């Protein structure tokens, strides 16, 4: 059995990245468009870490007999409780600006991660309108399915080919859009699959390289590693010619940070902080849409300048953190505990029944 080992620094990365996305959206909703501009790159970091963590947790199980259906059921059970909650919150806010039929339709679409075909001035051009963060979860689940389907034929060469093809497609999309902030809107939604494919399969490759004992022995102290990540996510690039930094971050810096996080031995005083950030990262990320849209709809009439915009955005960010924490403790953790217990009981019953049936 694989020994239990926590990658505490990766948890910290996830939490910092989710907070950066939250601040970016809240400041934009308050009218400060250029603030925390690089936070859209957090999604690429999420995909990369997801590939490593999922491969570590499920690759041997998938090769050992776990079916694609069982794997996808586990993934859906892990993600969907808060996807549904995010859609309901988004629908409650959306009802302030839409008729009942539109609200119900878009809430249902957000629940099932169905891209929205309706766009207009009163309807923001998000791929998943009532829960804009859902676009990355949609493509996450798609690449999860592809991974499970291909796992038995995914040799090292095929994996490298997938990464290379997705990197070329990413460069092409980058050239078309001028930056890496594509995939979240109706106009470029399907391009988000390229970001998910590249990051996820690169994460799988890092897992396999680590298992082979050939992973780079890079170790960056916790403080500088976190500072480097925060700097990339917070920076605004005022000159179009510097947009290439996006590709450098996704192709070079983030893999190096993840390698450092894999190798890291986080000091005890920071480990608990990193774990808390990791636990909060998913609810913060998936539940921020409704508070952000509420601020966008109602806040502009009260905001008279940048200082007030910052104060209101910070207040809404704090409210979102409270909502996320309540959802974590009252919704997600109880549901996940119940689901884990049910799976353990089912596995125990199966293990007990197999010898009996074999002896008959």
* pTM, full prediction: 0.92
Instruction: Identify whether 232 is part of a domain.
Output: yes
343 lies in some domain: yes
Q: Report if residue 300 sits inside a domain.
A: yes
Tell whether 342 is covered by a domain. yes
Per-residue pLDDT tens over the stretch 79-103: 999 999 999 999 999 999 889 999 9
Q: Domain range holding 29?
A: 8-359
Number of domains in the chain: 1
3 located within any domain: no
pLDDT band at 130 (very low <50, low <70, confident <90, very high): very high
Residue 1, in any domain of the structure: no
Q: What is the pLDDT of residues 29-54, one digit of tens each?
A: 998 877 778 899 999 999 999 999 99
Render pLDDT for 309-340 as a digit per residue (tens, 0 to 9): 899 999 999 999 999 999 999 999 999 999 99
In a domain? residue 2: no
Instruction: Provide the residue count of the chain.
Output: 360
């Amino acid at each position: 059995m694989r020994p239990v080992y926590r990658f505490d620094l990766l948890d910290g990365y996830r939490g910092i990245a989710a907070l950066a996305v939250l601040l970016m959206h809240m400041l934009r909703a308050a009218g400060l468009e250029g603030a925390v501009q690089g936070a859209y790159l957090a999604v690429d970091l999420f995909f990369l870490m997801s590939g490593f963590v999922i491969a570590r947790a499920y690759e041997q199980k998938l090769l050992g007999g776990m079916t694609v259906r069982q794997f996808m059921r586990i993934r859906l059970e892990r993600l969907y409780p808060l996807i549904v909650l995010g859609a309901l919150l988004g629908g409650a806010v959306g009802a302030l600006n839409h008729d009942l039929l539109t609200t119900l339709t878009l809430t249902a679409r957000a629940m099932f991660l169905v891209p929205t075909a309706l766009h207009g001035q009163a309807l923001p051009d998000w791929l998943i309108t009532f829960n804009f963060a859902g676009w990355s979860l949609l493509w996450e689940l798609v690449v999860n399915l592809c991974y499970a389907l291909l796992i038995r034929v995914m040799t090292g060469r095929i994996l490298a080919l997938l990464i290379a093809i997705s990197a070329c497609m990413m460069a092409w999309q980058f050239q078309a859009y001028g930056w890496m902030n594509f995939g979240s809107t109706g106009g470029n939604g399907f391009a988000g699959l390229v970001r998910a494919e590249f990051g996820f399969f690169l994460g799988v490759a890092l897992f396999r390289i680590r298992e082979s004992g050939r992973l780079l022995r890079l170790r960056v102290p916790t403080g500088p590693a976190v500072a480097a990540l925060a700097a990339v996510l917070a920076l605004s690039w005022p000159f179009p010619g510097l947009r290439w930094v996006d590709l450098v971050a996704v192709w070079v810096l983030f893999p190096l940070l993840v390698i450092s996080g894999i190798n890291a031995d986080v000091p005890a005083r920071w480990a608990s902080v990193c774990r808390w950030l990791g636990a909060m990262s998913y609810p913060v990320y998936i539940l921020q849409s409704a508070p952000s849209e509420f601020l966008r709809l109602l806040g502009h009439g009260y905001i008279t300048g940048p200082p007030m915009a910052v104060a209101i955005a910070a207040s809404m960010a704090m409210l979102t953190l409270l909502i996320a924490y309540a959802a974590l403790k009252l919704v997600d953790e109880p549901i996940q505990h119940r689901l884990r217990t049910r799976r353990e009981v089912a596995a125990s019953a199966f293990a007990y029944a197999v010898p009996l049936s074999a002896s008959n």
